[in-house]
Amino acid sequence: MTDTISNEAMTNTPVSFEFDRHGGMIRNFTMTSPTGAAIKPLHTAPWALDPVEIFDDISLVEQKLSGDFFCAPFGGGGAEPIHGNTANGHWSPLPPAPDSAPDNAISAAYQLRKKVKGAVVTKQFELHPGDPLLYQRHQFSGGEGHLPVGHHAMICVPGGASLSFSEKQFAATPAQAPEPDASRGTSLLKYPQKIDGPGPLEMQSGERVDFCNYPFAENHEDLVIMAERPSARLGWTAALAQRDGFLFFAIKDATALPETLLWMSNGGRNYAPWLSRHKHVLGIEEVATSCHNNGVFASAVERSPYGLPQGLALSTDRVATINYAFGAIAPPSGWTKISDIQINADHLVLLDVSGDTRSVTFHGAHFGL
């Protein structure tokens, strides 16, 4: 069943989206600007909504690949499907907790039917008047063990996107390419490698490319991981897609999600269901894994040598909370690259490298501001 959630009746910047309870997908996120323009930054795979294309041999999350979804465990592993039951299982609606969405906000809450490592998992959405953002909160009550987690938002930018980020310790590629077998697909970057912050990366050919201008090539499948500084409380990512008509941005609790993983999926997989047709897609995935340390998603070690959590530490007497939000606006004319996002209690200020700014309303209380 799919729920439609909207604040259209309350604000001149209405946001609406669909939530698929079977698999936990957010689809058709739409922000309607004050001029009436419908801004739809999120991606849906070409096979995801086609009833003719059914692939029983892949997980539900890949069958329905759309928009944004929450992963626990991120990457899967063992008996878990890829990205876990949070991205493949059933979510049951819950009544919102009292005072959970103040200030005339729209709120919707769900609980995953299956426990994750013994933890009860709940999901809450909020839309606030005037805000071009969707706020999300995931909570793990109880449980035991160490769990890689993450949000898996995806955009599609055939016209290209300029990428910007909050300050990072470094950028790196994992130990192994996502497509090491040339008969199945193509990866172009060199694996592994590490640089100081976002910048040019080396390709297998020896050429260097700036991954912050995506796509930098055609027909490839590549991954880049960036790590926040241990002192960071909040982090952000922005994708300015002038030709495709949107400026996408995400805000996260950096203490819970200390990595940004870029999944560059641009026609580099030959096998079903990809069939070299999944093009110009960028996964902007805010995660807590061990990718920044040893190139794998899961680790039994809670913190890496860089001082960053490598997942969520579950405990029978603890409620672990992950706060996240993403939004979009129309790209201001002449903007080329975001230089900063200033985050305040009641607004965000987006800055272009030209010095021009845009301010949008923001519910900072979601992040404890």
Distance CA 104, CA 106 (A): 7
Q: Which of 342, 311, 316 is nearest to 75 (CA)?
A: 311
Q: Which residues contact 81 (CB under 8 A, 6 or more apart)?
A: 59, 60, 61, 87, 88
pTM: 0.95
CB 301 within 8 A of CB 145: no
DSSP 321-349: EEEEEEEEEPPPTT---EEEEEE-SSEEE
291 confidence band (pLDDT: 50, 70, 90):
confident
d(CA 206, CA 101): 52
How far is Cα 126 from Cα 71, in angstroms, rounded to an integer? 19
Across the range 325-345, mean pLDDT stands at 97
Q: How far apart are CA 231 and CA 216, in angstroms?
A: 31
Q: How confident is the model at residue 168 (pLDDT cuts 50, 70, 90)?
A: very high
The Cα 6–Cα 344 span in angstroms is 24
- 11: pLDDT confidence band, cut at 50, 70 and 90? low
Extract the runs of DSSP E, i.e. beta strands, from 166-275: 168-173, 193-195, 200-202, 208-210, 213-214, 220-228, 234-241, 246-253, 259-266
Domains of the chain: 2-367 (2.70.98.10)
pLDDT bucket at 55, cuts 50 / 70 / 90: confident
Two tokens, residue 159: 């016209």
Tell me what pLDDT residue 295 has: 65
Using pLDDT thresholds of 50, 70 and 90, give the confidence band for residue 320. very high
Least confident range from 53-57, 58-62, 312-316, 325-329: namely 53-57
Dist. CA 58–CA 82, nearest whole Å: 9
Of the candidates 309, 25, 352, the residue with the CA atom closest to the CA atom of residue 147: 309
* Mean of pLDDT over the chain: 92
What whole-number distance in Å separates Cα of residue 180 and Cα of residue 196? 25
Beta bridge partners of 354: none
Task: Pull the structure tokens for residue 306.
Answer: 């860089």
Q: Which of 18-27, 196-205, 292-301 has the lowest mean pLDDT?
A: 292-301
Quick: pLDDT tens for 337-357.
999 999 999 999 999 999 999
Residue among 222, 207, 217, 254 nearest 235 (CA):
254
CB 360 within 8 A of CB 248: no
CA distances in angstroms from 300 to 303, 309, 321, listed in the order given: 9, 11, 20
Cα 159 → chain centroid: 20
Q: In terms of residues, how long is the chain?
A: 369
